[in-house]
Structure 1
Amino acid sequence: MPESPTDPQGNAETRLPLAGIRVLDLTLARAGPTCVRHLADWGADVIRIEPPGPADALAGARDGFDSVNLHRNKRGVALDLKNPAGHAAFLKLAATADVVVENMRMQVKHRLKIAFEDLAPLNPRLVYASISGFGQTGPYSKRGGVDQIAQGMGGLMSITGEKGRGPMRVGIPINDLTAGNLLAFGIMLKLFDRERTGRGGYVHTSLLEAQVFMLDFQASRYLMDGEVAGQAGNDHPVNIPMGVFPTSDKPINIAASTPKLWTNFCKAAGHEEWLAVPEWLTAGGRSKDRARVNATIAAVTQTQSSEWWIERLEEAGIPCGPVNDIAEVFADPQVRHLEMAMPMHHRTRGDIHVVANPLNIEGMETGVTRDVPGLGEHGAEVLAEAGLSAEEIAELRAKGALG
Structure 2
Amino acid sequence: MRNERILISGASIAGQALAYWLVRHGFRPTIVERAAGLRLGGQGVDVRDQAIEVAERMGIMSQIRSAAADVTGMQFVNATGDPIAGVDMQKIKDKYASAEVEIMRGDLVRILHDSNTGVEYLFGESIAALDRDDDGVTVTFERGPQRRFDLVVGADGLHSTVRRLAFGPERDFVRHLNHYFAFGDADAALGPDRRVTVYNTPGAMAGIYRSGNHAQAKAYFVFRSPLLDLDPRDAAAARAVLSDRFGNESAWNVPALLDGALADPELYFDSLGQVHMQSWSTDRIALVGDAAYCASPASGAGAELALVGAYRLAGALAAANGDHRQGFRGYEQSHRALVDRKQQVGPNLRLLVPRTRLGMAIRNAITRLSVLESMAGMERIMAPSTNELLPDYPRTQTFSRSTTGCSR
TM-score range, shorter chain: under 0.3
| Larger-gyration structure (1/2) | 1
When normalised by structure 1's length, the TM-score is 0.25
Q: State TM-score, norm by structure 2.
A: 0.24
* Structure ranking higher on relative contact order (CA contacts 8 Å, 6+ apart): 2
Q: Which has the higher strand share?
A: 2
* Higher helix fraction (1 or 2): 1
